[in-house]
Amino acid sequence: MTAATHDDVPVTLGGDGVEVRTRSIGGGMSVGYISLPEGTDMGPALKGLADDACPCPHWGYLLKGRLRMLTPEGEEYYEAGQAYCWGPGHVPVALEDCEFVEFSPTAEFQAVLDHVKSQSA
């Protein structure tokens, strides 16, 4: 069994108030602790990926804030207190300061993080 608290998980992506902490927890999955300040639009960082969107699925829980999620089907809204499942092809936009914890396939999520890091280099 594996457990990881926010402070145990290293920052893998950060800047401009965005903080992504990830760690493999076994079974090909990673836990992520993510903070996005109000106004964060991940669209520009996801440009160049399939459909200019995140191709990785995520399952999680929004601890704080509100998000607008752009999807191939349109827009969806999420707020603190909701559990979610985001399929491939999503672009998050923080309507308020957001904090969430999520679980994602490790290799797929790492590829997205590597792409986002390359966009800011």
Given a cut of 70, is residue 105 above it in pLDDT?
yes
* Cβ-Cβ contacts under 8 Å for 22 (sequence gap 6 or more): 9, 10, 12, 30, 31, 32, 33, 109, 110, 113
What gap in Å lies between CA 1 and CA 46, rounded to an integer?
A: 33
- DSSP summary character for residue 80: T
CATH of 6-120, one of 2.60.410.10, 2.60.120.260, 3.20.20.540, 2.60.120.10: 2.60.120.10
pLDDT tens, position by position, 27-63: 999 999 999 999 999 999 999 999 999 999 999 999 9
Average pLDDT of the residues in 17-24: 96
pLDDT exceeds cutoff 70 at 100? yes
Its pTM stands at 0.93
Residue 2: the pLDDT is 81
**For 85, how many CA atoms within 13 A lie in the half-sphere containing its CB?**
0
